[in-house]
Each structure stands twice: as structure tokens, then as C-alpha cells.
Amino acid sequence: MAIVRDQTTAIPALAIVEKYEAFVNYLYPVLRNCPRAHSVARDEALRCMLGVPEQLYAAAKTQQVSKLYAADGSLATLRFWLRFLVHADRKIITPRQHRTALAMLAEVGRMIGGWLGTLKGRGQSGQ
């Protein structure tokens, strides 16, 4: 299926969303199969994970550094949830799944960092 691009959205945002979508496609099935006893943690991790694209698009539409920082902060929150889910007391995700998910998130984080540098270089304010 071809990706239809929104011409009013910044190109960096689209590339980041595509990478982030790969992360979601990887982790979503894993979290959906989480034991019922951990449903609260699963739901919070999913809520955080599924909120990031909205933040990325908001940053792309407004070109505001502050909105991009909010999206980056959500990635940090996701890393917390991944640590929580892999902890030896819970073992909701495997260490291998944790490493893979972190590597995918790190790539998204690097892309956001590059985009932040571009916006700051243009003199965009953090409004």
C-alpha cells in the first residue's frame, strides 16, 4: 500500500512518523498479548505509544520547537514503560524485545534531535 503524503506537513515529520510506525507495528502485537494481570501497565504504555504521532504532527504543522520537545519527552516516557515491562519482576516483554524496541526508538529520537537542530538553526522559537 502506497503512503499518501500530506503536502502541508513538514518532510522531517513524515520520515519520523514512518520510523515510529515501524516501532508501533513491532511493539503493539507484543503489548496486546500482555497477561491480563498487567493490563493497567499495558494500557498506559499503549496510551503513551499511540499519542506520539499526534505530537509529531502538531510539531510539523506549527513548526514549534516546544511541541517537538513534548514529542521527545513522550519518547523518554516510553523508554520508562519499556524498562518497567522488561523488569525481572514482571517479564511482560523479553530482553530481546526490549533491546529491539529501544533501538527503534533511538533512531526516532536521533531524527527528532536532527529536526530540533534544523528548527533552532532557523531561529524558530520554543513557543
Q: Which has the closest alpha carbon to 53: 82, 15, 81?
A: 15
Residue 65 grid cell: 520547537
Task: Find cell 533552532 and name the residue.
Answer: 120
Question: How far out from the chain centre does Cα 57 lie?
Answer: 12
Query: How many structural domains compose the chain?
Result: 1
Judge whether 62 lies within some domain: yes
118 — pLDDT class (breaks 50, 70, 90) = confident
In terms of residue numbers, what domain contains 100? 11-121
Count of C-beta atoms within a 10 Å radius of residue 77: 15
Judge whether 6 lies within some domain: no
Q: What is the pTM of this model?
A: 0.82
Q: Which residues contact 30 (CB under 8 A, 6 or more apart)?
A: 93, 97
Judge whether 4 lies within some domain: no
Please report, for the domain that includes residue 107, its CATH number.
1.20.1440.60
119 — pLDDT class (breaks 50, 70, 90) = confident
pLDDT at 12: 73
The amino acid at residue 54 is E
* Distance, CA of 126 to CA of 52 (rounded, Å): 19
pLDDT tens string 57-109: 999 898 899 999 999 999 999 999 999 999 999 999 999 999 999 999 999 99
pLDDT tens string 15-71: 999 999 999 999 999 999 988 899 999 999 999 999 999 999 999 898 899 999 999
Judge whether 82 lies within some domain: yes
